[in-house]
Structure 1
Amino acid sequence: MPSPTLADKIAKIIRTDILAGELKPGQKLVVADLKERYCVGASPIREALVQLSWSRYVTLEPQKGCWVAPICKNDLSDLFDTLSVLSRILLVKSIQHGDESWELEVLTAFHRLSRLQNHSDEDWHSLEDRRQVFHHSLLDGAGAQRLCEFFNQTFNQVKRYQSYAMHQRHFTPRLDIDTHERLMKSALAKDTEQATALFEQQLTDHKQQLERALDLA
């Protein structure tokens, strides 16, 4: 695998800042400002922005400029529709093919998540990270690398909405640990119908939480 170029590294940093909400949805990205912010030249900045436009983190318009990709309910719904389709395929495959190491991965991820069931607002980064790890652990037994990568890429777009939501007043993420436990147990028991239904329910609940945050804006 070739070593990452400077543009690759800058793209990763900008992406991190977008996901963290340091660069706001709809914010114009001026090359001169980014040069100063990241202490690099214009060329790697431009290359990085092109890379990020391919993965829809930024919007490029010739002769006009570049902006952080906006957020809206239609886009959020599209993301969750994609996650719904992918997760059903992957979860069924995981239940069919998951081995003992997969089961241990799921149990470990749930245990770490359950330790945050009485989380404070300050723990929200850890909560969302552990929730994501738990959900991904359920899908990792599928043995479908490309589908998993597509799921992860799509979920990373959802992180922009999570970050935006947490900066809205009166918004607090919820963790229904009982539902997560039922999901874990049904997956390990090879109950495909219940497991896929519970996973879908959690995606729907998550989307509705984020939609409420958009309404608060």
Structure 2
Amino acid sequence: MVSTRVWLVTLGVIALVPILVLCVVNRFIPTGTDLKDPLGRPSDLSNQIIYSAYQFDVITARLDPKHQELSQSIQVLETVATDLAKLTDAAGRLTGLAGTVNESTSGVIGIAGGLPEKIQTIPVRSDTAAPTVLTLAGAIQAVTNQLAAVNGGLQTVGSSLATLGPRAHSIAQTLSYIEEEAAHVRELGPLLALLGPAVNGPQTPAPQDPGQPTLRNESSTPSTSPHPSTAPATPGR
């Protein structure tokens, strides 16, 4: 029966032989670090992967706001793209407008071609118009003087009317008094017509001017009027 020591030695030899063969083939000599960390390089790679994942999370956290800003920028860019499309359409229409501008420019050039001759005729016409302007200025000055004289006359008339204004009331009173006296004389007219011939007697007609026509004496002819004739009356109340 195999003892425990023999079995362990046999197991160790069987285990060490492949290890030695692998070390010789791979030219690898195990050290204390290899015995402490059997995984070796794969463990370091795992730690690097974990650290890289952490850094990726950090970068992702930082990129999240950037992503939102990018979304807003994209929306703005869409608006700008729309405006650019409109601008492109407008630029397409500029071709026809440019042709119109060229035609208008040609017309302006044609019109401007005759301007030098017309500009040269302006001084000649100005010299011709200068005497007329002087004559017109003299006429305007004469009209101004006449208007000044008319203004003076109007001021004189205004002053006269201002002086006559206070007398208008007294003139109106005098005319009213004359009207009242004429009414009284009209009432006494028939009586004066009867008393006049009796008081004054027959009157001799006054001699007439040879150059004037002879007037008919109405008092010498019988009156055909049914009313008695009225003699001139003296004013009185």
Q: TM-score, normalised by structure 1?
A: 0.22
Q: Which has the higher helix share?
A: 2
Q: TM-score, normalised by structure 2?
A: 0.21
Larger RCO, structures 1/2 (Cα 8 Å, 6+ apart): 1
Structure ID, larger Rg: 2
